[in-house]
Copies of this chain bind each other. A is one copy, B any other.
Amino acid sequence: MSLHLPRRGRRAGAQSSRELILASARKLFSEQGYDAASLRQIARGAGVDAAMVHHYFRNKDELFAACVELPADPRAVLADVVAVPVDQRGTAILLTLLTLWDSPVQPALLALVRGAVSSRTQAALLREVLAKRIVGVALLDLPDDDGGKRLRGSLLASQLIGLMVSRYVLRLEPLASASHQEIAALVGPTLQRYLTGPLD
């Protein structure tokens, strides 16, 4: 590739090519979802060669991460959670996410939520992040009872998003100052019920 596009990253037009690719990717990911959008389509939308996409982004995954400016890959963050039996996973997910939210990446995560609330495109991207990278991981090994798995995922996401917004954006007290262990005791059972409890 370096033969075809030598030092492309250093040249004047480079930034705009990368930006064009990102803009096309954001559009296609948000319209079609992560799985359906192809690198070929994204390149076409940006008016560049497919090789150019590969020059800037190792793969579709890396391109997606750049689109949403994720400060950390949630799947890596949640890797240990998968090892926790499903009947104890609610609290494990919560403690892992609280550690992430209260880490130096917090501003980037809040920017992601702010973007999603104010833009349809970014809302669609956050929806993909939630579905594929957070909820998807949380639901690993759960049986798919007639579409119930997706419903469980969206319920789980609803409480996680609400907790994040109330604690870090609205700063509702005493939730905003509560310790991770306190929140785990309070909200963990909700998540566990959404994951494995009866749904009606």
Return chain B residues, CB-CB under 8 Å to A153: 172
Task: Kindly specify which of A36-44, A46-54, A97-105, A109-117 makes contact with the partner chain.
Answer: A109-117
Contact indicator A190/B114 (Cβ below 8 Å): no
Assess whether B126 is in contact with A151, with CB atoms less than 8 Å apart.
no
Task: Provide the bound-state CA to CA distance between A176 and B153, in Å.
Answer: 12
**A54-105, CB < 8 A from B:** none
Q: For A113, list chain B residues within 8 Å (CB).
A: 117
* Of B167, B170, B174, B186, the contact of A116 (CB 8 Å cutoff): B170
Q: Could you mark each residue 166-200 of chain A with 1 if its beta carbon is under 8 Å from any beta carbon of chain B, else 0?
A: 11011111111010000001110110011000011
Q: Which residue of B lies closest to A164 (CB)?
A: B162
The verdict on A174 contacting B147 (CB below 8 Å), with A165-B117, A165-B165 known, is: yes
Which residues from B are CB-within-8-Å of A170? 116, 123, 126-127, 130, 157, 161
Given contacts A162-B162, A190-B193, contact A157 B172 (CB under 8 A): yes
A118 an interface residue at 8 Å Cβ cutoff? yes
Given contacts A172-B127, A193-B190, A200-B186, contact A161 B154 (CB under 8 A): no
Q: Which 9 A-B pairs have the closest CB atoms?
A: A162-B162, A154-B175, A158-B166, A154-B172, A158-B162, A117-B117, A161-B162, A185-B200, A158-B163
11 A–B contacts, CB within 8 A, in A order: A113-B117, A118-B118, A126-B170, A130-B170, A154-B166, A154-B173, A154-B174, A159-B159, A161-B166, A185-B200, A186-B199
